[in-house]
Chain A
Amino acid sequence: EPEVTQTPSHQVTQMGQEVILRCVPISNHLYFYWYRQILGQKVEFLVSFYNNEISEKSEIFDDQFSVERPDGSNFTLKIRSTKLEDSAMYFCASSDGVTGPVGEQYFGPGTRLTVT
């Protein structure tokens, strides 16, 4: 069964450094998302991406964050200057174009980002 994959599984970085989290969505999916889950807290939406542009973003997704689909398979989340409070599990998700925005989203296993 097709899966969303994410690399790395764990990233440790120093405050102020840039990080890029990578995702390979399911191949025929058209909608892509990033969520994060701070330890012990809810899963929170960051951004959705469709047709090579951001379609929706949350208040968390400020100028420090950016997303890109650099080729036909990868979807990346960049944090330009990491803060301690960016430490969280980051989940990538994708959904197909058949059911559109009400389709179920399929999640990757996550990247645990630790900012020291």
Chain B
Amino acid sequence: AQSVAQPEDQVNVAEGNPLTVKCTYSVSGNPYLFWYVQYPNRGLQFLLKYITGDNLVKGSYGFEAEFNKSQTSFHLKKPSALVSDSALYFCAVRAGFQKLVFGTGTRLLVSP
């Protein structure tokens, strides 16, 4: 079955420092991978996706993610964190025809 794992419940980073939020996947066939962000009392907002092509995917708000097939990873990165990036981040994989299977989420806290 398709699944993703987010090994960290929380990531702490200082403003201005680079951030990484980790995600590993387990799929049969080609992976279709997504990152979403959830702010308090808001729905999930799409950040970026990997379908095929370049391993470095650029998305919204300066985020990017690196697809690594050999390590089955799809880590979310940003070169310089902002306090406003503090939120809950979800990795997801397409499973079946259309459904997304989400990870457990990683809370990112960016301190001033």
Residues 11-36 of chain B, each 1 if its beta carbon lies under 8 Å from chain A, else 0? 00000000000000000000010101
Instruction: Kindly state the interface size class of chain B when it binds its partner.
Output: 20 to 34
Is B100 part of the contact surface with A, judged by Cβ < 8 Å? Answer: yes
In the bound complex, residues from chain A placing their C-beta under 8 Å from that of B100 are 35, 43, 45, 105
Scan residues 57-116 of chain A and give those whose CB is less than 8 A from a CB of chain B: 58, 91, 93, 95, 101-102, 104-110
Complex Cα–Cα for A48 and B99 (A): 7
- Tell which of B46, B100, B103, B105 has the most Cβ of chain A within 10 Å: B100
- Contact check, A56 vs B99: say whether CB atoms are below 8 A apart: yes
Q: Could you say which of A4, A42, A55, A102 contacts B51, with CB atoms under 8 Å apart?
A: A102
In the bound complex, residues from chain B placing their C-beta under 8 Å from that of A4 are 43
Q: Could you say which of B32, B36, B46, B103 contacts A42, with CB atoms under 8 Å apart?
A: B103
Scan residues 41-68 of chain B and give those whose CB is less than 8 A from a CB of chain A: 41-46, 49, 51
Complex Cα–Cα for A69 and B97 (A): 20
Q: What residues of chain A have their CB less than 8 Å away from a CB belonging to chain B?
A: 4, 6, 31, 33, 35, 42-45, 48, 50, 55-56, 58, 91, 93, 95, 101-102, 104-110
